[in-house]
């Protein structure tokens, strides 16, 4: 039976919450670990279904893995790679697994990788990945839903990306690590997860400079120069932004720990303009509070360091009960407003015109049964349920499980009234879950 959340809205969230490792970073680090022969270990690994999918992808290559959930670590022994095929049954579930293409081409000079899947938030083509690999010397053909890449050798070159695609930047970084000479990626993505990947690769013995800027240079090294490592993943800025939104939405007060505040500068600035109070209390901890009704502002999603598209749905929830009218422009993905009909069911006043959403703040939202259509839209509906009057049921939790670790437990720890259940869950089990704490 499919699990659901049952949320009784109206509680102010108070206390402390610990943010986990960055989903959008750890998945790429896991793929990168196959570049070096031997056993690498990654720490601060969140317990997510996406992590399990990436482990399946890597195991399918003949690489040995071990996931220690208690230690929050993953061990990857890539001494031997016995297959260069990443199967459809796994890659189709999660777009991030497509980065294994660059790692395999780099180390094995051959890869057969299924075209990627993931949340249906809009067109995310792999053209930039393919063109970049071809520029490095790989021969590419696409057959029966698989990308076949082969190279006698890879040679460094200049690659210009038409848009600063995160996935293409990462794939081409990995493909260039063992190429002859230097590769320069221009108009590269600048996200913190790109910097984390570069730091991981450099610790492994690679030579990457410029990560975090629009130009990344990779000087190729030899296979014997790479060695297995131990590495700790950065905190998840999107999870942090979700809990910041949650606290502000419920007019609560909470400390959010294990956060890199610099990664959320743009989002923090917008929240403060709306009327939230945000204080830095430690280098990796902030206090978020909100006493009064928020005020509307406009949001435009942009590549980093602009406003993150992954937090657009949270911003929409905050605007739904803010004073005034706010406009959100989604400039990156055309299907990123899938939370809109569900918020309207809850009483929000939202008018959508293509990639623009005009949100007129209402006094309150009302509980309703809603469906998580994708990862971030699903999380935003949980935020909406926590601030709404009455009971909200959120269905299709498998989307949320892809990116939020122990989500309901963390919310309960802050005083939120949320339980996870299915139609076969007994009343006693529901009660036990509702009383559980981390």
What mean pLDDT, rounded, does the chain reach?
Answer: 94
Question: What is the spatial distance between Cα 125 and Cα 131, in angstroms, rounded to a whole number?
Answer: 12
- Provide φ and ψ at 282, rounded to 5°: -150, 165
Q: How does DSSP classify residue 360?
A: E
Q: Residue 126 to residues 117, 165, 172: CA-CA distances in angstroms?
A: 11, 10, 12
Q: Which domains does the chain have, with CATH numbers?
A: 4-20+235-435 (3.65.10.10), 23-221 (3.65.10.10)
Q: What pLDDT, on the 0 to 100 scale, is given for residue 420?
A: 96
The sign of the dihedral angle between the CA atoms of 174, 178, 184, 190 is positive
User: HSE-up of 267 (CA within 13 Å, CB side)?
Assistant: 29
Q: What pLDDT, on the 0 to 100 scale, is given for residue 204?
A: 98
pLDDT tens, 278-327?
999 999 999 999 999 999 999 999 999 999 999 999 999 999 999 999 99
- 174 within 8 A of 102, measured Cβ to Cβ: yes
Q: What pLDDT, on the 0 to 100 scale, is given for residue 116?
A: 80
Question: What is the spatial distance between Cα 312 and Cα 323, in angstroms, rounded to a whole number?
Answer: 18
Residues forming a β-bridge with 42: 74, 231
Q: What pLDDT, on the 0 to 100 scale, is given for residue 108?
A: 97
pLDDT tens, 54-95?
999 999 999 999 999 999 999 999 999 999 999 888 888 887
Q: Which one of 119, 149, 159, 328 is the catalytic residue?
A: 119
- 192 within 8 A of 263, measured Cβ to Cβ: yes
**CB-CB neighbours of 225 under 10 Å:** 14
Question: DSSP letter string over 418-433?
Answer: EEEE-TT--HHHHHHH
Q: What pLDDT, on the 0 to 100 scale, is given for residue 120?
A: 42
Residue closest to 216 by CA, chosen among 140, 132, 134: 132
Known catalytic residue at 108: no
Q: What pLDDT, on the 0 to 100 scale, is given for residue 97?
A: 87
Residue closest to 200 by CA, chosen among 26, 23, 22: 26
Peptide bond into 335 cis (omega under 30): no
- Provide φ and ψ at 87, rounded to 5°: -75, 150
- 173 within 8 A of 102, measured Cβ to Cβ: yes
The residue with tokens 């700790």 is 232
- 126 within 8 A of 163, measured Cβ to Cβ: no
Q: Is 242 exposed, middle or buried (0-12, 13-18, 19+ CB in 10 A)?
A: buried
Q: What pLDDT, on the 0 to 100 scale, is given for residue 294?
A: 98
- 265 within 8 A of 430, measured Cβ to Cβ: no
**CA end-to-end span of the chain:** 25
Residue ranges of the chain with pLDDT lower than 70? 1, 117-125, 426-427, 430-431, 433-438
Q: What pLDDT, on the 0 to 100 scale, is given for residue 433?
A: 62
């Amino acid at each position: 039976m499919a699990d659901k959340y049952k949320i009784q809205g109206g509680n102010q969230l108070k206390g402390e919450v610990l943010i986990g490792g960055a989903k959008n970073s750890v998945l790429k680090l896991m793929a990168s670990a196959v570049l070096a022969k031997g056993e690498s270990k990654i720490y601060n690994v969140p317990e997510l279904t996406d992590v399990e999918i990436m482990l399946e992808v890597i195991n399918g290559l003949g690489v040995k893995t071990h996931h220690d959930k208690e230690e929050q670590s993953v061990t990857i022994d890539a001494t031997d790679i016995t297959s260069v095929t990443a199967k459809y049954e796994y890659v189709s579930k999660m777009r991030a697994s497509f980065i294994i293409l660059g790692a395999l081409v780099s180390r094995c000079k051959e890869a057969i990788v299924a075209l990627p899947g993931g949340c249906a938030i809009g067109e995310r083509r792999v053209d930039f990945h393919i063109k970049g690999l071809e520029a490095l010397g790989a021969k590419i053909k696409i057959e029966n839903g698989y990308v076949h890449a082969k190279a006698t050798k890879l040679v460094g070159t200049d690659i210009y990306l038409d848009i600063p695609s995160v996935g293409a930047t990462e794939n081409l970084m990995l493909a260039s690590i063992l190429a002859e000479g230097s590769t320069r990626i221009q108009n590269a993505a600048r996200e913190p997860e790109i910097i984390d990947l570069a730091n991981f690769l450099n610790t492994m013995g690679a030579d990457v400079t410029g990560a975090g800027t629009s130009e990344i240079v990779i000087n190729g090294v030899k296979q014997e120069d790479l060695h297995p490592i131990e590495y700790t993943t950065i905190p998840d800025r999107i999870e942090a932004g979700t809990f910041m939104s949650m606290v502000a939405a419920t007019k609560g007060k909470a400390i959010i720990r294990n956060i890199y505040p610099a990664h959320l500068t743009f989002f923090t600035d917008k929240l403060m303009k709306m009327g939230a109070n945000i204080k830095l209390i430690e280098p990796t901890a902030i206090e978020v509070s909100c006493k009064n009704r928020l005020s509307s502002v406009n949001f435009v999603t942009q590549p980093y360091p602009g406003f993150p598209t992954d937090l657009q749905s949270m911003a929409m929830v905050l605007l739904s009960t803010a004073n005034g009218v706010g406009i959100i422009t989604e400039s990156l993905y055309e299907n990123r407003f899938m939370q809109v009909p569900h918020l309207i069911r809850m009483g929000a006043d939202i008018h959508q015109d293509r990639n623009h959403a005009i949100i007129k703040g209402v006094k309150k939202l009302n509980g309703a049964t809603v469906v998580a259509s994708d990862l971030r839209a699903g999380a935003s509906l949980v935020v909406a349920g926590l601030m709404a009057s009455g009971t909200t049921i959120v269905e299709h939790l498998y989307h949320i499980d892809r990116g939020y670790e122990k989500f309901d437990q963390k919310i309960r720890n802050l005083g939120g009234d949320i339980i996870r259940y299915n139609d076969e869950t007994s009343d006693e089990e529901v009660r036990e879950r509702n009383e559980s704490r981390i």
